[in-house]
Structure 1
Amino acid sequence: MSRAIGVPHRTDSGAPPAPEPPVPSTAARSPEAGPDPGARRFGLGTASALVVGSVIGTGVFALPSALAVFGPISLVAFVLVTVGATALALAFRGLAARLPGAGGPYVYARDAFGEFAGFLIAWSYWITAWAGNAAIVVAWVGYVEVFWNTDHQVGWSIVIALSGLLVPALVNLAGLRSFAAFQVVTTVLKFVPLLFMATVGLLFINTANFGDFNAGGESWWGAISAAGAIALFSYLGIETASVAAARVRDPERNVGRATVLGTLACAAVYILGTVTVFGTVAHDDLVGSTAPFTDSANAIFGGQWAGATVAVAAVVSGFGALVGWTLIVAEMPRAAARDGLFPARFARQSRAGVPAFGIVVSTLLAAGLTVVSYTSFEQVFITVVLLSVLTSVIPYLLSAAAQLYWLLTEGRRARVGHLARDVAVSVLALAFGFWALAGSGYQAVYYGTFCVLLGVPVYVWVRVRRGAYGEVPR
């Protein structure tokens, strides 16, 4: 994908096509009109695999090292993040039942708060997705280098990373049939060894390995907030089924179920797996590890074969996540483009039924960020993680706000007990978003806010192209 795989369509004259007129809002269309005619669909199993496959990438495999800096207090943060992520999943379930069209958070914010809010969500989420791909591939490289480039030469690390972005793009460009089969297979292959580490591994814990409870030395709440912002990255993707809702059969039912089931399954594996790594690898060794689950497996079973097996699982896991996210990264701008809020080229699909232009552009941006990260930042993984977390918080906040808005304006017909429960969940999801925002740190907030606000001139340009401010010469 680092080359121009999908060249944008042009007219027979060779000139760029005129902008496509905006279609009615996805939110305004009926569920029957939302999905693309003839699109290949997948059911609850594949939708759940999409959620699990997108959430469990290589983030969880690299996370213990990033959290070890804070000490076991980060496990408290992980539990709090899990509660917040579950609240978000429940909010997405309610929103998906109300608005089953493709686009997820974009559709929810646009329907509740208008076009500009919808655009900001689409723009922020798009940044999150391709920046997240850069973070996933950086962590993925750490496990590939268990077998090759063991001395971590930066040049070869970049080559491996770019290959890890290119091949998933090719899988997606081949069409959704290839995507669905690959996503299910890779989800199973990576979930089984992680589940093993999160269950059997608990029997080998040595409490002496945990180290100081608050190893960072800062205030408890400051440590929990900072660790929570990093831990949130491991849950990015719980909304993927809602983003790709147009490709899911019976989205009113299956999207919400897939979101909640996928989130809960990931939560169990995440927390228990992290506890296992903390308790089987000495704290000082864990802080400097680039493949913590491999080190944990070697400590449990002795020798190198167990760690190598886990490393293979991590490589497969990361690759499966990149395949899923490469599709998702193009779905959000595609939904916005169909509503006239993103450049029209993002809305076009290839003959294979995928948004090829969005896949190509997003992969190139992820590749650029990956190269910059390796050559400019000392803590490559954490830097890219915090950037993607910051931009993801904006869609999550507005999605929770949209759910709260609809509950308070249209929920009066619901039973009082159910309404109170759903309002409490939405408020919790909203508070969780603000907490994650505060814990991201000044640097991430600076870069993230700058990237988000870069979307404002793009919005103006798109509106002008639509003729919202009068006729525009062409």
Structure 2
Amino acid sequence: MIGSIIGTGVFALPSALAPYGPISLVAFAAVTLGALALALTFGSLAGRVPASGGPYVYAREAFGEFTGFLNAWSYWITAWAGNAAIVVAWVGYVEVFVNTGHRTGVSILIALVGLWIPAAVNLTGARNTGAFQVITTVLKFVPLVFMATVGLLFVESADFGPFNASGRSAVGAISAAGAIALFSYLGLEAASVVAGRVREPRRNVPRATVYGTLVCAVIYILGTLAVFGTVPHSRLGDSTAPFTDAANNIFGGTWAGDVVAAAAIISGIGALNGWTMLCAEMPYAAARDGLFPAAFARLRGENGVPVFGIVASTVLASLITVFSYTRFEDVFTKIVLLSVLTAVIPYLFSAAAQLYWLLVRGREGLGRGRLIRDATVAALAMAFSYWSIQGSGYQTVYYGLFVLLLGLPVYLWLKRDSGEYGESPALPAAESRAPETPPTKPAPRIPRQRGRHGNVLRHHD
């Protein structure tokens, strides 16, 4: 959980939030509350449906196959597009040591290496993927905990700059900054997505989801606060490695920043490792139900590796990375907003599924207090999802809706032989006629008569 949530996003986030000023810390606090509501909701859902697939499974069980497909499709886009965003931030820290001139061609090459190393680890099996995740999570924690504790002692108020530097209203600035900040919490559903591979999922998945999100929340808010207070606002927006700059300002020289950069590189590889697994696991769960191309459900080797899902997702992440480097200046922010939007859609449906089970299916199984508590948390998670969509901006919603609707031809193709279009399979053929139309009484048979020359005499009404 922690390894998937904490990637290079948090290491690049202060620079992405700098244009809004310290008001983005208010947005971060609001996003944290929403993320905790989502974590509690996912924890409850995982206890109810302890199967791999997470948001896809919840939407399918509550609202049917088509909704399940849309959630799987949207989340799959989040996974590989999110990998592109992670690797862009990862490149910024690699370039502390190499390609300091930030030549675009070299940056793209570094990014592709960063995407395919975790893919290679995942192709060796889930056990190696998990071991790699544990190691990288431990190593990435050291500089983050340092900045979230010792770094706070070096904060200077003059470095924060204007409270709202965006020129927007306070509400508009908080909404826009919140949409970016939410990227830091993407992955809070990771344990539910791979629940089928977890021991005792009804107990362990909810615990991992809630406790993992809480730990990340504390480190995120305090670490970002420390960076805002140790790097001057005028420089923070242009920084490609803000935690490195903060460490250098605290200790002087470059050695401390180099240590932080090395930790960020390890952190990014660890996050990419976890998300590459999610890239394959979500479509694998949907493909087993016939709601994703069958190639995603094929497992290879003794370890049961979903090779096609890993390779296809990494290829797509590579393509969007190359496209973004050649088309956008603020590459990280553009991909982040697209990833957030396509993630929030499954979050929204998951919260709706929880409300559906609480208020429609499961009322008789819960006490009044538990029902009110769980329904309130799910309603907050749902409202938070709507707020995140609103804060993503018109352009992001346009692109997000476009890639979401690209899934419709895929769904039609998957269902082409099932005979589900334009029919009502619940009614047999004999009952499908309109009951108000009485059967027509057949006309009486009139015997044919022959004329004098043997010709048939025809009778007319």
Q: Which consecutive residues of structure 1, in runs of 5 or more, have no partner in the other structure?
A: 1-50
Return the offset for 1:196: 1.1
**2: distance between equivalents of 1:426 and 1:121?**
18
**Which residue does the alignment assign to 1:450?**
402
Amino acid at match of 1:154: T
Return the offset for 1:467: 5.7
**Which residue does the alignment assign to 1:437?**
389
Correspondence 1:395 to 2:342: no
**Which residue does the alignment assign to 1:383?**
334
Query: Secondary structure of 1:169's partner?
Result: helix
**Which residue does the alignment assign to 1:148?**
98
Query: Secondary structure of 2:149's partner?
Result: helix
**Which residue does the alignment assign to 2:113?**
163
- 1:139–1:381 CA contact under 8 A, matched in 2: yes
TM value normalised by structure 1: 0.88
**2: distance between equivalents of 1:193 and 1:292?**
13
Correspondence 1:119 to 2:69: yes
128-137 or 415-424, which deviates more: 415-424
**Which residue does the alignment assign to 2:366?**
414
- 1:210–1:278 CA contact under 8 A, matched in 2: yes
**Which residue does the alignment assign to 2:265?**
315
**1: distance between equivalents of 2:252 and 2:32?**
32
**Which residue does the alignment assign to 2:55?**
105
Query: Residue deviations 1:45-101, cap 9 Å, x none?
Result: xxxxxx111110000000000001000000000000000000000000110000001
Query: Secondary structure of 1:214's partner?
Result: coil
1:159-308 superposed matches below 5 A? 159-308=109-258
Structure exhibiting the larger radius of gyration computed from Cα positions: 2
**1: distance between equivalents of 2:201 and 2:141?**
25
Correspondence 1:335 to 2:280: no
**2: distance between equivalents of 1:421 and 1:175?**
40
- 1:340–1:466 CA contact under 8 A, matched in 2: no
Query: Residue deviations 1:328-364, cap 9 Å, x none?
Result: 1111110000001011110111103221100000000
Return the offset for 1:192: 2.0
- 1:115–1:341 CA contact under 8 A, matched in 2: yes
Amino acid at match of 1:175: G
Match of residue 73, structure 1, among 20, 23, 28: 23
Amino acid at match of 2:323: V
Query: Secondary structure of 1:215's partner?
Result: coil
**Which residue does the alignment assign to 1:460?**
412
Return the offset for 1:180: 1.2
Q: Which consecutive residues of structure 2, in runs of 5 or more, have no partner in the other structure?
A: 423-461
Q: Kindly tell me: are residues 465 and 155 of structure 1, through their superposed partners in 2, closer, same or farther at Cα, counting changes over 3 Å?
A: farther
Return the offset for 1:469: 5.6
**Which residue does the alignment assign to 1:29?**
none
TM value normalised by structure 2: 0.90
Query: Secondary structure of 1:321's partner?
Result: helix
Return the offset for 1:175: 1.0
For the aligned residue pairs, the C-alpha RMSD in angstroms reads 1.0
Return the offset for 1:411: 2.9
**1: distance between equivalents of 2:233 and 2:417?**
56
1:82-97 superposed matches below 5 A? 82-97=32-47
**Which residue does the alignment assign to 1:47?**
none
**2: distance between equivalents of 1:165 and 1:330?**
14
**2: distance between equivalents of 1:197 and 1:349?**
42
Match of residue 404, structure 1, among 318, 343, 355: 355
Overall identity of the aligned pairs, in %: 70
Amino acid at match of 2:412: V
Return the offset for 1:191: 1.3
Q: Kindly tell me: are residues 282 and 342 of structure 1, through their superposed partners in 2, closer, same or farther at Cα, counting changes over 3 Å?
A: same
**Which residue does the alignment assign to 2:441?**
none
**2: distance between equivalents of 1:117 and 1:340?**
14
**2: distance between equivalents of 1:361 and 1:129?**
12
**Which residue does the alignment assign to 2:439?**
none
**2: distance between equivalents of 1:365 and 1:411?**
43
Amino acid at match of 1:415: G
